[in-house]
Chains A and B, each alone.
Chain A
Amino acid sequence: MSEIKKFMFVNRKAPHGTIYALESLEVVLITAAFDQDVSLVFLDDGVYQLKKGQQTKGIETKNFSSAYRALEGYDIEKLYVEKESLELRGISEEDLLVDVTVLGRAEMGELMDQQDVILSF
């Protein structure tokens, strides 16, 4: 498959309360295997997916947060977080478990406009 498209995955939902974050991560990993240009965006409650120190033992669910650290190994290095989404939730870049690029609202909008395929779950 020679055609390379710009895929953006927009994550707007918090983890654990619903399965969306986990299953969306599964698509991201597959898409990377197709050698596409992959970006991940964390917006609104989606930023909670990247919160450090998640411990799911007590709720008996899979702690998939470590998988975000593994993304680099799949050549997925474009992780974007919207600045206001962090601010509105009282958290900062230091609270996140991976390195991300923090974008203002306009920059985020521009990035979205540059994509070929936008998937949201």
Chain B
Amino acid sequence: MKFGIVVNEGPYQHQASDTAYLFSKAAIEKGHEVWRVFFYHDGVNNSSKLTEPPQDDRHIVNRWSKLNEEHGVDLVVCVAAALRRGIKEENLAKGFRISGLGQLTEAGIKTDRLVVFGD
């Protein structure tokens, strides 16, 4: 099956991004496709390459980047939500891209299931 994932909360502050990641990983391991992850609201903060967690903690941003690198998961950051919060091309981590809200609607149309993670 083809999955679309929506992440509405920032990393570290809320568990949503962790749950979304572990769900995506499990889906891929089961042979499904995670077609797109759309980052909205504070979820756009998952894409900042300036993120530096303590060494003994998980690196949430890099984990998403790796999912893009290894499985081609399309990581889309909402432009309007991103600009509001100071996320721009120049501080975008590897594998993420900034685009419009239409990409979220498109994910709803083109995937078999859309799963939302937020607060």
Contacts and interface: CB of A to CB of B under 8 A. Distances in A.
Nearest to B41: A23
Contacts of A30: 100-102, 104-105
**Per DSSP, are chain A's interface residues mostly helix, strand or loop, or mixed?**
mixed
B8 A121 contact: yes
B44 to A, nearest CB: 10
Interface residues of B, number: 17
B31 to A, nearest CB: 23
Contacts of B118: 120-121
Nearest to B80: A26
Interface residues of A, number: 20
Nearest to A27: B101
Interface string A34-46: 1010000000000
B41 A119 contact: no
B116 interface: yes
B108 A121 contact: no
Interface of A: 1, 3, 5, 7, 19-20, 23, 26-27, 30-31, 33-34, 36, 116-121
